[in-house]
């Protein structure tokens, strides 16, 4: 017995249902590449770097592109105007999430991750709680955590400059775990970092489009794990155990510490202290949901962004030199930049903006779904259509951002060096869209600013020297995945001066 007969029937039924309703209103579907019978554009859909294929289709078919993936309607949006027409002007229709059976139902990610929740009252409740902990007004209370881990990063780079990638990955995880749970992770192999990182690896693999047939044919979720061909069920069981560890183990640290009266300040501790005895069970669930969402939204993307920063500095020494000159003039050699300096560092701020535009680490936004049949721009959008914001195309638009392949922070500055207000802010796309925009964006922005400012002030990042005595040419090669990050590249991380070394060593007193 196999799953193939049921699969064949499911394909035929799905395609028949779709074909019977896609023109119900007498309106055309959006334009897009012509597909094959039954499977539609399934063979056109690339396994990796999908946003690049979509970008080509935008140039050919326009800002709204339609695909049929074996009966599943997909619409890809390639401009801020198209994204606004769906996600802002019709947010009541396009704020839902598609059903992701492998990730959310079998692996269990959808039980806690707010970003995966279907649009409705449960999502509103958890989103409101998340916003309370991460809106712009509360971010300053996390500044000491940002400073502690940024300073630790500087000391680690001083002693192990060849481990840049690992230090950046660890710092991003450590900031989230400290903020959320008060767990101060020092070592890279800390068990709580390992738990969270393994869980996120499972999330990425189980969420990869096209990897599991059960996402296209949900009835397969009922296939028993012992059946031949049901390897996906066995993987799901393993990954679900990782999810449970991620949700429960850091939380238990806080809960046990509170019982002993020795709890470190954290979001989880604050939320537990505010709860009444009759709300404990619900509050514990909410805390785990906020924690899971925090780690998922913040750790991988922040680490990838700082890796993009290191790549940009190695590729564009003139940008690095200009930023360091600004820091030297405003901050001076006797201290490190902090958040009070930020308004006086326009070029450093422009680098932070350009980081999110140049190589957006989430080039395709988390999918939205149409909750009902609709019409946008004269096109029919069937209920259940997956809507993808192609952040890559929006932030690589050569009209809004001339020379989009170049890392040019000055594009965000006026002629007299101030931040310009007439250049599109990359946040229109970099953090998602509409009602589902990332509520942790202010947290991310502040932590990235501090890392960028302090690393620039203390270190120079440059390409290695080749056998011919010239710097090795570094290119912007990227690794595929749900989060875009640079492929490994060699670089030299070197303190700028003896004074910088002394200043870095003095940060050990800040704990």
- Taking only the tens of pLDDT, the chain with its 511 residues reads 344 444 444 444 444 444 444 455 689 999 999 999 989 998 998 888 999 999 999 999 999 999 998 888 999 999 999 999 999 999 999 999 998 999 999 999 888 889 889 999 999 999 999 999 999 999 999 999 999 999 999 999 999 999 999 999 999 999 999 999 999 988 877 888 888 888 888 888 888 766 788 987 899 999 999 999 899 999 999 999 999 998 899 999 999 998 888 888 999 999 988 776 667 788 889 998 998 888 877 788 999 999 999 999 999 999 999 999 999 999 999 999 999 999 999 999 999 999 999 999 999 999 999 999 999 999 999 999 999 999 999 999 999 999 999 999 999 999 999 999 999 999 999 999 999 999 999 999 999 999 999 999 999 999 999 988 899 999 999 987 768 899 999 999 999 999 999 999 999 987 6
Question: Strand 72-77 to strand 64-69: parallel, antiparallel, or no bridges (unpaired)?
Answer: antiparallel
The full 3-state SS of 423-447, as one line of letters, equals CCCCHHHHCCCHHHCCCCHHHHHHH
- pTM, 2 dp: 0.92
What pLDDT does residue 25 have? 60
What pLDDT does residue 5 have? 44
**Calpha distance 123→116 (Å, rounded):** 9
What pLDDT does residue 451 have? 98
**Calpha distance 115→118 (Å, rounded):** 9
- Contacts of residues 41-48 at CB distance under 8 Å and 24 or more positions apart, as own/partner, are 41/67, 41/68, 41/69, 42/69, 42/70, 45/69, 45/209, 45/210, 47/210, 48/480
What pLDDT does residue 23 have? 53
- 3-class SS of residue 364: strand
438 appears as a binding residue in the annotation: yes
Closest by alpha carbon to 182, among 282, 77, 287, 65? 287
What pLDDT does residue 20 have? 47
What pLDDT does residue 459 have? 98
What pLDDT does residue 273 have? 86
The Cα angle at residue 83 between residues 77 and 88, in degrees rounded to 5: 150
**Calpha distance 321→328 (Å, rounded):** 10
What pLDDT does residue 15 have? 47
Could you tell me which residues are beta bridge partners of residue 387?
75, 368
Cβ atoms of 117 and 96 within 8 Å: the answer is no
Average pLDDT, the chain: 90
Phi, psi of 306, rounded to the nearest 5 degrees: -70, -30
The Cα angle at residue 56 between residues 313 and 60, in degrees rounded to 5: 145
CB count, 10 Å around CB of 93? 21
What pLDDT does residue 11 have? 47
Cβ atoms of 327 and 348 within 8 Å: the answer is yes
**Calpha distance 326→320 (Å, rounded):** 10
Cβ atoms of 431 and 437 within 8 Å: the answer is yes
Tokens of 440: 């942790």
As its CATH architecture, domain 4-509 has: Orthogonal Bundle (1.10)
Tokens of 362: 């989430």
**Calpha distance 349→261 (Å, rounded):** 41
Residue ranges of domains in the chain: 4-509
CA distances from 194 to 169, 197, 199, 490 (A): 12, 5, 8, 25
- CA dihedral of 333, 335, 340, 346, whole degrees rounded to 10: 30
């Amino acid at each position: 017995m196999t799953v193939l007969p049921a699969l064949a029937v499911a394909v035929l039924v799905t395609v028949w249902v779709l074909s019977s309703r896609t023109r119900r209103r007498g309106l055309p579907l959006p334009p897009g590449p012509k597909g094959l019978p039954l499977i539609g554009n399934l063979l056109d859909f690339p396994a990796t770097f999908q946003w690049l294929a979509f970008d080509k289709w935008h140039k050919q078919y326009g800002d709204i592109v339609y695909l049929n993936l074996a009966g599943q309607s997909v619409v890809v949006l390639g401009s801020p105007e198209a994204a606004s027409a769906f996600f802002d002007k019709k947010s009541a229709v396009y704020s839902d999430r598609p059903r992701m059976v492998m990730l959310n139902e079998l692996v269990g990610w959808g039980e806690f991750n707010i970003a995966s929740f279907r649009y409705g009252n449960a999502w509103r409740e958890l989103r409101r709680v998340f916003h309370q902990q991460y809106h712009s007004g509360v971010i300053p209370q996390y500044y000491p955590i940002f400073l502690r881990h940024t300073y630790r990063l500087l000391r680690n780079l001083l002693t192990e400059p060849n481990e840049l990638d690992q230090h950046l990955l660890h710092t991003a995880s450590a900031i989230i775990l400290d903020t959320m749970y008060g767990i101060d992770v020092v070592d890279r192999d800390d068990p709580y970092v390992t738990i969270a990182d393994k869980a996120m690896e499972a999330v990425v693999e189980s969420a990869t489009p096209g990897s599991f047939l059960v996402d296209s044919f949900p009835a397969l979720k009922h296939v028993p794990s012992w059946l031949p061909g049901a390897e996906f069920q066995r993987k799901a069981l393993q990954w679900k155990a990782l999810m449970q560890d991620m949700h429960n183990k850091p939380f238990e640290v806080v809960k046990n510490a509170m019982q002993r009266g020795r709890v470190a300040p954290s979001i989880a501790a604050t939320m537990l202290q505010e709860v009444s005895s009759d709300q404990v069970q619900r509050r514990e669930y909410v805390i785990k949901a906020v924690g899971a969402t925090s780690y998922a939204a913040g750790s991988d993307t922040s680490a990838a962004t700082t890796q993009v920063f290191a790549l940009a500095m190695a590729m564009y020494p003139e940008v690095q030199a200009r930023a360091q000159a600004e820091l030297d003039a405003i901050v001076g050699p006797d201290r490190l930049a902090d958040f009070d300096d930020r308004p006086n560092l326009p070029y450093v701020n422009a680098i932070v903006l350009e980081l999110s535009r140049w190589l957006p680490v989430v080039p395709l936004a988390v999918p939205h779904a149409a909750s009902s049949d609709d019409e946008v721009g004269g096109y029919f959008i069937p209920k259940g259509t997956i809507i993808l914001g192609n952040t890559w195309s929006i932030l690589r638009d050569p009209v809004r951002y001339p020379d989009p392949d170049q890392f040019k922070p000055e594009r965000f500055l006026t002629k007299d060096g101030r931040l310009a207000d007439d250049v599109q802010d990359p946040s229109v796309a970099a953090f998602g869209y509409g009602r589902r925009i990332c509520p942790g964006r202010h947290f991310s922005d502040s932590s990235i600013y501090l890392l960028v400012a302090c690393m620039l002030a203390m270190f120079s990042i440059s390409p290695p020297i080749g056998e011919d005595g010239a710097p090795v040419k570094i290119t912007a090669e990227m690794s595929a995945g749900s989060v875009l990050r640079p492929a490994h590249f060699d670089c030299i991380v070197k303190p700028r001066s003896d004074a910088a070394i002394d200043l870095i060593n003095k940060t050990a007193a800040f704990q």
